[in-house]
Amino acid sequence: MAETTAAVAKRRNRTSYRGITELAKGRRRKAVLKKLNYFTKHRAHLGYDRLRQDKLPIGSGAIESPFRRVVNLRLKSAATFWKEATAEAMLVLRA
């Protein structure tokens, strides 16, 4: 009987998890396993497969770049000085 796609994916995930745990040796083992357990536990929340399937951007560059531009244009213009409170208020207006 042929395996379902979900069964194949689950088996592949177990195999890669086992492979990583075998590679995590020495001083960094505890840290590597902690991170691996976090990503394994929260895999459903990450949803990268779905984003890739829908051809949506995964990186944060699409958000960070325009924001950085707005900050530079609004807050860093020539001869402009800001107090922390008023600069934050300006950023909140833009958000």
Give counts: helices (H), strands (E), the chain.
6, 0
Q: How far is CA 61 from the centre of its chain?
A: 11
How far is residue 35's CA from residue 82's CA, in Å, rounded to a whole number? 40
Question: 53-74, pLDDT tens digit by residue?
Answer: 888 877 777 777 777 777 777 7
Question: 8-36, pLDDT tens digit by residue?
Answer: 566 666 656 677 777 777 888 888 888 88
- What is the pLDDT at residue 95? 54
Angle at 21 between CA 6 and CA 16, to 5 degrees: 25
What are the DSSP calls for 75-87, one per residue?
Answer: HS-TT----HHHH
How far is residue 11's CA from residue 49's CA, in Å, rounded to a whole number? 17
In single-letter form, the type of residue at position 24 comes to A
